[in-house]
Structure 1
Amino acid sequence: MTDAIAAERATQGPLLYASVDYDGTDADDGMVASARDFTADFLTASPASGHPRVPRERVDLARLVVSELVTNAVRHAPGPCRLLLELFEDALEISVFDRLEASPVPRGHDPGRIGQHGVEIVVAVCESVSVEPQPSGKRVRARLSLV
């Protein structure tokens, strides 16, 4: 997994990146909250590396996307997962790696359904969402515009 990430960075070049690994033993809420905080801290600190300040509403949207993707990993792919944030000039790529090979499936719009709207939300607010097979699971990647 690390070699593929390094090769991708060499060709496309994010300005800044950071990742955090979760072993999957944390309580659901603790892992998701930690991922949201990690994302906010990463984006808030980005001006120190020369990136323009990310607007607060974009930080909040990034936290929402991370929350939905990590929640899916916690609920449907118990075990270790990794959150990778890659900051580009005008976008943030959010990737969650987990051990489940099956792709998340967006459900049809149903305002009467309680819960299970995470993938719908991510697709609605992001420029793109992809699922990429990995040697031991998958990578769900979402690209969020920062402008």
Structure 2
Amino acid sequence: MPKIRTALAGLGTAALLTTVAVPVAAAAPAGEQAWGACASGNVCFYTGANGTGSKCSWSVADEDWTQGSIRCSWSQTTNVKSVWNRGTSSASGVAYYRWRDYNTRMGCTPQGQRGNLTGTYMLKSHRWINGACG
């Protein structure tokens, strides 16, 4: 009897993995739709992973997200979890900073790239840069 239980338990695990894999695959198109919300020429920052949640976007650098010409209402209270650099200028990347006036660089995303951030910090400024993001 123990052999049958082991075999059935193994089948249950396989069935569970199949069940889990289906929703993950089905969720991908929704993520693609969320990323599509960033206009060409802009950099977009999101409160959720994979370009979801609230978004703030710019086509130019901004030294202070709270007082600049474009204000990001959630930047004082909410961590940034994803970014998409859809810039079209000759700049190679967008560097982003924890504080206004480009202080304490937290990362850089190359032109045309998008991805998730650690989501453990707020951002207050960004600018396009030339050279490597590294």
TM-score, shorter chain, exceeding 0.5: no
Look at both structures and tell me which one has the larger radius of gyration over its CA atoms: 2
TM-score for the superposition, normalised by structure 1: 0.28
TM-score for the superposition, normalised by structure 2: 0.29
